[in-house]
A and B are shown apart, each in its own frame.
Chain A
C-alpha cells in the first residue's frame, strides 16, 4: 500500500518537475545510447569474427613421393586430433581445378605437369580456432614424416583476434565511464528534486515520519529515471539499427537476455545513485 502510494507520489513529482525530469532522462538516454551502440558494434564484430573462423581451415600439404599407406596413416592421425572436426583429402588434380576456377585456366596453361601438392584440409572445432592453439596443432602435425608444410593463416587470425580484443577493451573502458557517469547523473537529479521538496521532507519528519516514508518516492524516482533512460536509449538504438540494416549492411541486434541484463544493471546503478543523495534525509 505504502509502496504504491509512494510510486504515485513519485510519478506526480516527476510530472511537477517535468523539465528537470525530462532533461535528466534525455541525458541518461543518450549516455546509455553510446554504451548500447558500442555493445551493438562489439556484438556484431564478434559475429563477424565467428563467421570468419567458421570458414577457417588448416591445410596440411604432403610431400610428392608419399605412398597411399602413408597417406592413410596421416589421415588417421589427423582425424584422431581433438581439435579436428572434419577432414577431407584434396588430390593434386582437385587442387588444380580449384585454382583454375579461381584464377582462370590461362594462368596454368604453360605448365607441363601439375605442380600442386596433395593436401589434407582440416576443419577445426570452434573452441580451438585461436592462433596459439592452432600453432600447437600445426607443430604436432609437422612432426609426421610425409608432411611438407602446415598452413592456417596465422597472421590473419592474430590480427582478427587483436582487433576484437582491442574493441572489447575500449568498449569496457567506455562503458565503465558511462555507467559511473550514470550513477552521478541520477544522484544529482534526485538531489535536485529533493532540494525542491526540502520543505515537504522537513514537514514530514517533524510530523514523525520515518525515513522510509520520505525515502520511498525518491527510490522510485531513481528507478524511474534509470528505466526511462534505458527505454529511450534502446528505442534510439533500435532506430539506428534499422537504418544500418536497411541502408548500409545487415546487423544483428543485441540479444534480449543481454538487453535485460543491461537494463537490470542500469536500474541497480540508478538505485545506487538515488541512495547516494538520500543519505541526507535521515539527518533532518
Chain B
C-alpha cells in the first residue's frame, strides 16, 4: 500500500497515508481499537471500496482504475473472512462454503469434492446440510473461514475473526489461522483484542489508531 488514504463523505478520515507491505507467506496482524480503520483497510484491499488517495499493488496489479475483468480477477484472488461473516441465510453450510468455487466456474464434481474436503478439514461434516441460523457462533465462524480459504486465494483477509467468540471457539479459530499460515498462506488479520495480537506475536504486528499506522 502506498500513501493510501480513505475519506468518507468528504470529511471523515478513516485511513490516512498508510504505507504497508505484506510479503508472500507472511501473517500480518493489525491491532487497533474499534473505529481505528481496520475494516476500512480490509475493504480497500479486497476492492470492496476504493481509496481516496494512494495506490494498492497486489500481485503486480494496481488498484487504480480497477474495474471489469481486472476487478473480478483481483477479488477472486482474495478470500475474506468478514467481521459480520455475511453467511447466506437461505443456503446450507455446504452451499455457503462452495460459493467462491461457483464464482471460479468449477465443475459440480470439483465443487463437491473440494467442499467435502473443506468440511472434513474443519470438522463440519455433520453440519453440511444445516443453515447458518442453526449453528453456534464458533461453527458460523468456521464456515465463514472455510468459504474464505476454499478457493486457495493468494491472500486471506480476516477482519476481527474472533470478535464474537467464547474463549474455546476463539482458540480453535486462532489455531486454524496459524495452521493456515504454516501451510504457506499469506494472511492479513485485524483485531481489537490484545490477546489475539499476542497470540500472533511470532509474526509481524502493526498498530492502527485513528486511521494511522504506527
Residues of B contacting A1 in the complex (Cβ-Cβ under 8 angstroms): 107-108
Q: A207-B76, A208-B76 are in contact. Are A2 and B105 (CB under 8 A)?
A: yes
Residues of A contacting B107 in the complex (Cβ-Cβ under 8 angstroms): 1
Cα(A43)–Cα(B115), bound, Å: 58
Q: Does B75 contact A (CB under 8 A)?
A: yes
Is B86 a contact partner of A203 (Cβ separation < 8 A)? yes
Q: Does B205 contact A (CB under 8 A)?
A: no
Residues of B contacting A205 in the complex (Cβ-Cβ under 8 angstroms): 75
Cα(A208)–Cα(B105), bound, Å: 11
Q: Which residues of B contact A (CB under 8 A)?
A: 46, 48, 69, 71-77, 80, 86, 88, 90, 99-100, 102-103, 105, 107-108
Q: In this complex, which of B75, B102, B105 has the most chain A Cβ atoms within 10 angstroms of its Cβ?
A: B102
Residues of A contacting B90 in the complex (Cβ-Cβ under 8 angstroms): 16, 200
The contact string, 1 if C-beta is below 8 Å from chain B, for chain A 181-206, is 00000000000000000011001111
Is B108 a contact partner of A209 (Cβ separation < 8 A)? no
Q: Kindly report which residue of chain A lies nearest to residue B101, judged by CB atoms.
A: A207
Is B72 a contact partner of A209 (Cβ separation < 8 A)? yes
Per DSSP, chain A at the interface is helix
A199 smallest CB distance to B (angstroms): 7
Is A204 a contact partner of B103 (Cβ separation < 8 A)? yes
A1 smallest CB distance to B (angstroms): 7
A284 smallest CB distance to B (angstroms): 10
Checking A203, A204, A208 against B74 with a beta-carbon cut-off of 8 angstroms, the contacting residue is A208
Is A206 a contact partner of B46 (Cβ separation < 8 A)? yes
Residues of A contacting B88 in the complex (Cβ-Cβ under 8 angstroms): 199-200, 203
Is B75 a contact partner of A208 (Cβ separation < 8 A)? yes
Residues of B contacting A203 in the complex (Cβ-Cβ under 8 angstroms): 86, 88, 99
Residues of B contacting A5 in the complex (Cβ-Cβ under 8 angstroms): 102, 108
